Each structure stands twice: as structure tokens, then as C-alpha cells.
């Protein structure tokens, strides 16, 4: 007969582990939940796999322990528990109680001592014990009746230690674990140990001599190197062992009552998990907890546990052969339109099948493409689509937005994801196996709307989808279909100019190097610069020397060859990436048609591809030849409307910094105003260098640049220390900006996300990452997210308003690049510039003026201000 099984959970240890091992999670109202989610995952795993007869959670009581009384510095190196974890530690007690699991804590003792005592009592009462913990201190308790299950990666990846496993890991048995810690010390508990003795030395000594006491008794036999390290530390070693030893006779009682749960407890536990938005756990709970229900027979328990099968999408077929039947069937209902064979973004249907599936509720019908498109055109407001812009573009565009787009809804909910495939969304949000048939996909698409809409409503993000993303769909698809006219001849001419410039630059590099080599080869370039020419600042890599832009920029101040290599790289990139590539993208209508990606950036910004317009160097002098190739069609002029310093204006609005607000309200150049304050100039005009530094600093603060990053941006030999002083001075001059940035980071840490003025969220799953660099990187992103995200929302709203301002005219919106909109303005409709500017400036009102600068001309380069 198998002995009864007790599971003892080291509660806070497991919660700590879950907090740092699980990506940051929070409820829609901002309550952090990642530790609780990981803890619940482990608990369910134990109930399903270990199947305990009894279970208890050991908790740390508030206040200091008996170890602190004897050694005040015990655990003195531990940092303050993060607020986001504190809340979850408190909430964990409610979760444990709701599940009907007993918990034990004892003032003056640690949870480890409770674990040790209960596991000993269990052995005396005929139980085998599984200790569940996030650390390895409990390995000293392992014996023939006690094993330790501990986490390895994440929370549910585990390893179980019995006596043999402990011996394999350390080379000695469980009873020597306190001696091991007494020798090597423990930084997490601030146990001193013996300086200079690590894991290897401690294991070697224990294998040969056994306990600390034995080592001290046979001190003369110890190897000389260890005698020297231990000399005079006998008391410290014994105290360290005492601190590391778990108590097994704490004054507590435990009744070993079988673990059972009542119907009301299960309902309360599920309600609590619903409140925490643990959708997967809620779904699993009835089966996991069902086997432990009061009064349930073992047979019933097993049946209930076996009942958990992945839900499938059930489809009821509905035959449709004419449009009248289709229209009558759909009626006033929302309907899901699922294209069959839509593999390429530019093709709606497979050339052979040319079919689609229409679904209403759980009823679906496969219909010819013609009927599907007829329904979409007559009732787009009722359509539920996935990636609707690709569909709109492929059918020639429409002026009315679809009723719902699951692709865009999922993007609004979690913009940090890299993809939003329909199958992934169905299995993730509906928690079913990915559908395997077209009919099932259509019905799943229909059902997905309700789930996503509910999430959007709870997170107050419905307006982001309904007022920003969905109205953009027909506008962007129209812009993609329209494209912009480009002159192949100008691109070819510019390519030839670049070729001549590249030859000239190559010749100059060879002259300076006094040899010929492949400039584009980092290996050969490094050898020339650092081996042959002996330039300073060489940094070795696995394949040679580092020759990146940071290295060359440092050298460029004093060594012409570095400047010329940088010029060569820029010229080569312009030729291959832009001049030559863009010519190939000019289509039969003499226009270039880019594709806009609404879900391409976590900030909410639009991106584009084929070509990537965001990367075209439209502002630099070298980019003039590229800009010149984009021209107006006959009977039109190109008009460019560009937001001026929009992100700094948004910063002024969000933080209310008086100096920034006043500068924008009075029309004073903001970088000049910053320079005056930074350098104590009063009303005097700053020098060009001072204004340049102020401009660099404004944007560095805006994007959360590090001191190193700012030093690189300032160039001219600026040191990291000087950059640090500049940032410090900026924060002292602009305390409101500093406090605002700090508050944004704190919001991201406590909620897991930040929000824009429009309510768009951006999540930061690594904001509590164990690695400092990862955390700091997330903090810098979080710092800028409300600003950049608000700018993205403003630009999207500007596109919608600008389209409205063009209603009834022949002028048309063609491009959006960064903070700029480009129009083809019909001859005789120049007066439209005023309402277009007003549409952009009023897209998202701020407490500071929003300035829109306009230019007009025959091409994108030769434009004059208006």
C-alpha cells in the first residue's frame, strides 16, 4: 500500500520565483498578477500530477525571527520588496484561503522552519512529503520520506530531489547542506561563510572531512590553503551553520486533514480567479478541483478530471446559392467574412476556388466570391474581418470602415506582439484548439469579436479601435492603391551621381590608407585602420576589429579616413537601398505603391514596406536626389504638411513644465529657451553650439537616452561624465519633466503598461526582468511611450480628419511619413491648405499650440513654404 502524500508549499518562496520568472501580467484595471498567476499554475500542476492526500502552505510571518536576535545582519543585504510583488503577496493569502488550503505561519520563525517541522511531523504520522519551493535551502530536509520539488526555468518546469539526486548534484548527502552554506556563505541571506571558499572548495572539504565540527576538530589535517582561509573564523563558521540550519521542532501543530473543497469554496476560488482575469485557470479549475470536492466518490472524481477536453468550434451548415438568400439569412446581424485561400496579402481568394465563408453565430455557409463581396459592399458596418485593409485594397477600396477587425483589435489590446494570426488569436482568446476547417474558422472569427470587444471595453480601449484604427482602414487602402508618381529617369540619374561620388570617395580612402582594399569588408577595414595605420581605439571582436559607426565617429574628429569611410557607407546605402531599389518598384502606372502596416509598431506608429518610406532620408542633403524623384501628376502639385516638434509639444502638455509651455505659447524656439535656462544666459541669445546641445538634450531626455548615448549624440569628444552632468543640470532646471518621466516609469512598473492621451496602452512585459540591462531598457521605452504613442494617435487622427477635409475635391492624400502628410493638390484647389492644416492641428487638442508647417511644389524636394 502506497504511503499517504503530503505537499508542503513554501508560499512566499514560490511567489518570489513566479514574480521574477513570469513575464509581467496585470488585470485590465492595472493590478499586477504575474506572481499569483505563476503560483496558481504550480498549484494546479501539483493537484493534477502529485495528487496529494493533504496539502499545506507555509508562510513567513511579519517581523524578525530568532535568527535576527542572534545575528542582526541576517538577510540584511536583501532589497526592499517591490510594491508590485507586495500587493500580490497580500492577495495570495486570499487565493489560498479561497481554495480551502490551510496555511501556517509562526511569529519569530521562517517559512523554512515550518516546512522542516511539518515534514518531520508527517514522517511520524506515516506520510511521505513533497516540499515545493523556489530555492534549495530545503534540500537539507531530504531523506527516505521527504523529497523536494523545486523550479528550474519558469514556474512549472521542475526537478525533484531525493537523497540520490542531492548526492549527484553536490557530491555529498542532504545533511551536509548547512555545512556547505557555512563554508561558501549565502549572499541572499547575508550568511558570511569563509571568504575565499566557493562551491568547489566547500564540496571538496565536505567530501573529505564531513561536517564543520569535524573540520575544526581535525584542523591540522586540512590542506594549508584552507587552514589559512579558516584561521580565526571558527566562531563565524559555526554561527553560519546555525543560521543555515532549518528548525524541525518549531512550536506548531498540523492536523493532516485530507484536502477537500466544497462547492461554495470552488465557486469562491473561481470568482477570485475571474476577478484576477486568469481565463485559462478559470477554465481548468472545475476539472482540477473537481477530484477534491466534498462527497465526490473516487470514481466521480476521476471521471470529472478526465472530462477536460479541448473545446471545439461547432458549426451548423447553412446553404446559400443566391444573394437574396444570403441577405435574408444575414439580415441585420453581424457576420464574419472569412476568405478562402487568402495566402498572399494582395489576393483575396485563391485563383481556383474564389470562395468565401460567411458565418452568423455558429451557422456558416461557403459562398462564391461575388456574393461575399456584394454583401461586404452593401453592409460593411456589419462585417467582422481579419486584416481588413488587405481585403479592402485587393477589391479596389471602399469608403466605409468594417464593423470589426480582429487583427486590429488584438493589436490594440497587446501592441508588443510580433504577429496576430487568426489561428493564434482563436486558440488564445477563445481557448479552443485552432479550427481545422474554413467553416470553423469563420465561426471562430464571429465568436472572437465578442471576446475581444469585451476586453477592449474593460480596458477602456474601444475608442482606440473604433475612432482611430477602423476608420483608417479604407483611407490607408486607398492611399496604397493610389501610390505616388516617381520618375525613373531621376532615380537613374541620381544613381549615376552616387556612383561617381562613391568612386571619388573610394579613391580618397585608398590614398589615405596608402593601399587598396575592400572598404565594405569590416575585417579588411579593421586591419587597415588598426594594424597598418595604428589608429587608436581598437576593439577586438571574434572576427577581427569593431568598425561600427560608433568607433568610426570617434575617430572621424581627428582622422579623415574614418570620415571618408562613413561617407562611402552612406553613399553606397543610398545607391543600393534607395536609388536602385526604388526604380524597380515603379509600377506600370508610373507610381510607387507602398503598403502601410497598422500593427507594425508597439508605439502605435504606422510603418510601411515595399518600400519602407520611414527610412528614406528625406531631410538630409544627400537625400535630395531621392526626394526629387517623387513628383506630382499632371494637373497637380505636391503639398507637404508637417507637424513641428510635435513630441516636445506633447511632453509640454503631459508634464506641464512652465518653461516649455511658455516657449510654445509665446512662439519662442524651444531649443533656444532650453539653452538659455541650461546655460544661465538670461535673455541673451545662445550660441549655435549651445542651441545644438540644448536640442540634442531635449530629444535625449524625451527618449530616455543614457549618459553614454547622449555623449555619442553630442560628439565632439564629449565624455560620459560631461553628458551625465548635462542631464543632471537639465533635471535641476526642469524638475517637472524629471518628475513626469519618473511617474511614467512607476506607472509602468505598477500596472505593466502606460497609456496615451487617447487611452492606447503599451505593455512592458520585461519591466521587472531579472537582468538590470533588460529592466533599464524597458524603463527607457516606458518613459517615451505616452509621448510617442500620443504622437502616433495624433497622426492617425490627422489622416482621418484630412481625408474629411478633402471631401468633394479632386485633391488626394498620398503618403504619410513620420510626422508628415503628403498630398496631390489639384490645380485651383490651393485654398484647401488652410482646412487641411486646421484638420491636423485640431486632431488631438493640446494645452500648447500645435504648429503645422506647409510646403508646396512640383516634387517632394523643390517645395516652397506656404
In this predicted structure, which of 56-60, 221-225, 722-726, 804-808 has the lowest mean pLDDT?
722-726
User: Where exactly does CATH 3.30.70.370 map onto the chain?
Assistant: 604-612+624-657+737-866
pLDDT at position 715 is 67
Distance (Å, rounded) from C-alpha 424 to C-alpha 34?
A: 22
pLDDT at position 777 is 87
- Per residue in 24-53, pLDDT (tens digit) is 788 877 788 989 998 998 999 899 888 899
- Position 627 pLDDT exceeds 70: yes
pLDDT at position 351 is 46
Distance (Å, rounded) from C-alpha 547 to C-alpha 521?
A: 10
pLDDT at position 187 is 79
* Closest to 491 in 3D by CA, of 586, 569, 571, 573: 586
pLDDT at position 553 is 81
- Per residue in 196-211, pLDDT (tens digit) is 888 899 999 998 899 9
pLDDT at position 341 is 59
- Per residue in 88-111, pLDDT (tens digit) is 998 999 999 888 899 999 999 999
User: Where exactly does CATH 3.30.420.10 map onto the chain?
Assistant: 316-459
pLDDT at position 515 is 95
Which CA distances in Å does 414 have to 419, 709, 795?
10, 29, 20
* Closest to 285 in 3D by CA, of 23, 47, 18: 47
pLDDT at position 16 is 87
DSSP strands (E only) in 35-157: 54-58, 103-104, 127-133, 146-151
70 or 491: whose pLDDT is higher?
A: 491
| CATH code at 4-244 | 3.40.50.1010
pLDDT at position 309 is 38
- Position 716 pLDDT exceeds 70: no
- Per residue in 378-406, pLDDT (tens digit) is 999 999 999 999 999 988 888 999 999 99
- Position 306 pLDDT exceeds 80: no
pTM: 0.76
Percent of the residues in the chain that have a pLDDT greater than 70, as a whole number: 95
- Per-residue confidence band for 345, with pLDDT thresholds at 50, 70 and 90: very low
pLDDT at position 353 is 52
- Per-residue confidence band for 156, with pLDDT thresholds at 50, 70 and 90: low
DSSP string, 688-703: HHHHHHHHHHHHHHHT
- Per-residue confidence band for 613, with pLDDT thresholds at 50, 70 and 90: confident
> Cis omega (within 30 of 0) on the bond before 676?
no
| CATH code at 316-459 | 3.30.420.10
Spatial contact of 178 and 241, defined as CB atoms under 8 Å apart: yes
- Position 566 pLDDT exceeds 90: yes
- Position 184 pLDDT exceeds 60: yes
C-beta atoms surrounding 358 within 10 Å: 25
DSSP label at residue 430 = S
pLDDT at position 473 is 97
Distance (Å, rounded) from C-alpha 143 to C-alpha 116?
A: 12
| CATH code at 604-612+624-657+737-866 | 3.30.70.370
Taking the alpha carbons of 839, 845, 849, 853 in that order, is the dihedral positive or negative?
Answer: negative
pLDDT at position 520 is 92
pLDDT at position 86 is 86
Please report, for the chain, how many H helices and E strands are present, in that order: 37, 26
- Per-residue confidence band for 774, with pLDDT thresholds at 50, 70 and 90: confident
Distance (Å, rounded) from C-alpha 860 to C-alpha 239?
A: 78
pLDDT at position 704 is 75
Amino acid at each position: 500500500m502506497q504511503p499517504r502524500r503530503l505537499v508542503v508549499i513554501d508560499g512566499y518562496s514560490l511567489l518570489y520565483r513566479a514574480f521574477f520568472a513570469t513575464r509581467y501580467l496585470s488585470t485590465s484595471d492595472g493590478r499586477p498578477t504575474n506572481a499569483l498567476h505563476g503560483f496558481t499554475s504550480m498549484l494546479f500542476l501539483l493537484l493534477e500530477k502529485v495528487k496529494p492526500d493533504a496539502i499545506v502552505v507555509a508562510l513567513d510571518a511579519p517581523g524578525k525571527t530568532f535568527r535576527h536576535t542572534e545575528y542582526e545582519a541576517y538577510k540584511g543585504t536583501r532589497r526592499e520588496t517591490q510594491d508590485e510583488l507586495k500587493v500580490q503577496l497580500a492577495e495570495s493569502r486570499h487565493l489560498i484561503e479561497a481554495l480551502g488550503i490551510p496555511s501556517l505561519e509562526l511569529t519569530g520563525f521562517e517559512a523554512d522552519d515550518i516546512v522542516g517541522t511539518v515534514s518531520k511531523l508527517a514522517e511520524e504520522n506515516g506520510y511521505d512529503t513533497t516540499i515545493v519551493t523556489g530555492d534549495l535551502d530545503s534540500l537539507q530536509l531530504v531523506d527516505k520520506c521527504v523529497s523536494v520539488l523545486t523550479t528550474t526555468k519558469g514556474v512549472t518546469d521542475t526537478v525533484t530531489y531525493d537523497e540520490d539526486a542531492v548526492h549527484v548534484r553536490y557530491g555529498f548527502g542532504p545533511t551536509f547542506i548547512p555545512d556547505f552554506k557555512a563554508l561558501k556563505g549565502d549572499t541572499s541571506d547575508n550568511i558570511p561563510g569563509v571568504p575565499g571558499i566557493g562551491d568547489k572548495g566547500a564540496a571538496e572539504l565536505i567530501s573529505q572531512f564531513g561536517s564543520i565540527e569535524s573540520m575544526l576538530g581535525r584542523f591540522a589535517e586540512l590542506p594549508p590553503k584552507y587552514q589559512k582561509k579558516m584561521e580565526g573564523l571558527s566562531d563565524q563558521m559555526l554561527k553560519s551553520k546555525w543560521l543555515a540550519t532549518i528548525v524541525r521542532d518549531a512550536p506548531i501543530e498540523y492536523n493532516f486533514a485530507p484536502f477537500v473543497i466544497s462547492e461554495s469554496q470552488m465557486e469562491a476560488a473561481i470568482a477570485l480567479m475571474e476577478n484576477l482575469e486568469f481565463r485559462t485557470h478559470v477554465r481548468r479549475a472545475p476539472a482540477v478541483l473537481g477530484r477534491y470536492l466534498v462527497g465526490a466518490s473516487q470514481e466521480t472524481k476521476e471521471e470529472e478530471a478526465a472530462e477536460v477536453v479541448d473545446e471545439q468550434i461547432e458549426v451548423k451548415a447553412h446553404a446559400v446559392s443566391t444573394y437574396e438568400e444570403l441577405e435574408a439569412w444575414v439580415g441585420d446581424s453581424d457576420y464574419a467574412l472569412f476568405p478562402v485561400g487568402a495566402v498572399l496579402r494582395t489576393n483575396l481568394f485563391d485563383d481556383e476556388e474564389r470562395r468565401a465563408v460567411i458565418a452568423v453565430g455558429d451557422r456558416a455557409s461557403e459562398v462564391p466570391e461575388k456574393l461575399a463581396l456584394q454583401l461586404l459592399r452593401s453592409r460593411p458596418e456589419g462585417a467582422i474581418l481579419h486584416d481588413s485593409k488587405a481585403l479592402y485594397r485587393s477589391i479596389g477600396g471602399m469608403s466605409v470602415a468594417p464593423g470589426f477587425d480582429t487583427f486590429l483589435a488584438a493589436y490594440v489590446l497587446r501592441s508588443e506582439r510580433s504577429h496576430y494570426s487568426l489561428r493564434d488569436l482563436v486558440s488564445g482568446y477563445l481557448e479552443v484548439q485552432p479550427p481545422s476547417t474554413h467553416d470553423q474558422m469563420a465561426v471562430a472569427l464571429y465568436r472572437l469579436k465578442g471576446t475581444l470587444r469585451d476586453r477592449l471595453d474593460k480596458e477602456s480601449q474601444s475608442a482606440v479601435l473604433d475612432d482611430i484604427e477602423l476608420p483608417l482602414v479604407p483611407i490607408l487602402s486607398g492611399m496604397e492603391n493610389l501610390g505616388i508618381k516617381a520618375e525613373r529617369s531621376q532615380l537613374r540619374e541620381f544613381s549615376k551621381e552616387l556612383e561617381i561620388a562613391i568612386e571619388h570617395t573610394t579613391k580618397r580612402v585608398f590614398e589615405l590608407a596608402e593601399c587598396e582594399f575592400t572598404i565594405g569588408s569590416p575585417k579588411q577595414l579593421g586591419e587597415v585602420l588598426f594594424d597598418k595605420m595604428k589608429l587608436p581605439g581598437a576593439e577586438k571582436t571574434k572576427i577581427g576589429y569593431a568598425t561600427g559607426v560608433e568607433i568610426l565617429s570617434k575617430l572621424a574628429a581627428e582622422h579623415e579616413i574614418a570620415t571618408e569611410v562613413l561617407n562611402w557607407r552612406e553613399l553606397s546605402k543610398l545607391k543600393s537601398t534607395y536609388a536602385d531599389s526604388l526604380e524597380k518598384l515603379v509600377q506600370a502606372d508610373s507610381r510607387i505603391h507602398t503598403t502601410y502596416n497598422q500593427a507594425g509598431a508597439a508605439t502605435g506608429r504606422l510603418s510601411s514596406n515595399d518600400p519602407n518610406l520611414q527610412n528614406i532620408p528625406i531631410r538630409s542633403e544627400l537625400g535630395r536626389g531621392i526626394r526629387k524623384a517623387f513628383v506630382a501628376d499632371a494637373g497637380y502639385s505636391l503639398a507637404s504638411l508637417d507637424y513641428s516638434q510635435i513630441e516636445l509639444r506633447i511632453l509640454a502638455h503631459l508634464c506641464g513644465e512652465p518653461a516649455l509651455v511658455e516657449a510654445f505659447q509665446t512662439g519662442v524656439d524651444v531649443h533656444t529657451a532650453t539653452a538659455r535656462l541650461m546655460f544661465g544666459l538670461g535673455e541673451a541669445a545662445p550660441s549655435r553650439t549651445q542651441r545644438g546641445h540644448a536640442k540634442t538634450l531635449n530629444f535625449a531626455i524625451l527618449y530616455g537616452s543614457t549618459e553614454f548615448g547622449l555623449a555619442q549624440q553630442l560628439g565632439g569628444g564629449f565624455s560620459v561624465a560631461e553628458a551625465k552632468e548635462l542631464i543632471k543640470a537639465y533635471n535641476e532646471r526642469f524638475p517637472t519633466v524629471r518628475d513626469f518621466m519618473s511617474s511614467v516609469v512607476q506607472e509602468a512598473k505598477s500596472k505593466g503598461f502606460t497609456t496615451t492621451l487617447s487611452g492606447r496602452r503599451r505593455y512592458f512585459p520585461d519591466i521587472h526582468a531579472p537582468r538590470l540591462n533588460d529592466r533599464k531598457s524597458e524603463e527607457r521605452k516606458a518613459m517615451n511611450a505616452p509621448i510617442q504613442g500620443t504622437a502616433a494617435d495624433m497622426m492617425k487622427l490627422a489622416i482621418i480628419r484630412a481625408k474629411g477635409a478633402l471631401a468633394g475635391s479632386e485633391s488626394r492624400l498620398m503618403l504619410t511619413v513620420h510626422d508628415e502628410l503628403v498630398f496631390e493638390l489639384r490645380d485651383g484647389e490651393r485654398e484647401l491648405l488652410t482646412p487641411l492644416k486646421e484638420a491636423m492641428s485640431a486632431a488631438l487638442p493640446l494645452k500648447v499650440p500645435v504648429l503645422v508647417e506647409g510646403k508646396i511644389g512640383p516634387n517632394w524636394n523643390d517645395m516652397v513654404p506656404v
